Amino acid sequence: MNIYEMTAFPLIEEVTTILAESENIRIERIISAGQVSDWYDQAETELVLLLEGNAVIKYENGKSVEMSKGDTLLIPPHERHRVSYTSSEPPCVWLCVFY
């Protein structure tokens, strides 16, 4: 698999591919193009790597993090957050590690 290989456009929904998974870790590739999310409250720590595109992560406390290609973000367990923006040109390619 090529991490940058895209599916057909336009994307109506995000495309999530589980690359590896065990009892203690899950690695996902997510492709988004203009999609936003509801609030997440995850039990795991999440390491986010934005490999392509631009995005904004908002936290429940009002803090926002603007992300560009190459940026990383560590989200602790139960830190309520949402994706409030994803670019469509270029689309976002995320590599997310949950542990």
With a CB cutoff of 8 Å and minimum separation 6, the contacts of 14 are 30, 31, 32, 35
Under a CB-based contact definition with an 8 Å cutoff, are residues 15 and 30 in contact? yes
Q: What is the pTM of this model?
A: 0.91
Q: 74 pLDDT band (50/70/90 cuts)? A: very high
Measured CA to CA, the distance from residue 46 to residue 98 in angstroms comes to: 5
Q: Is the pLDDT of residue 7 over 80?
A: no
Rg (CA), the chain: 13
Could you tell me the CA-to-CA distances from 58 to 33, 48, 67 in Å, in that order?
A: 17, 14, 11
How much is the average pLDDT of 87-94?
95
pLDDT at 75: 98
pLDDT at 44: 97
Largest CA distance in the chain: 38
Q: Among positive and negative, which fits the CA dihedral 77, 98, 17, 69?
A: positive
pLDDT at 38: 96
The 10s digit of each residue's pLDDT in 8-63 is 777 788 999 999 999 999 999 999 999 999 999 999 999 999 999 999 999 999 99
- In the chain the domains, ranked by start, together with CATH numbers, are 28-98 (2.60.120.10)
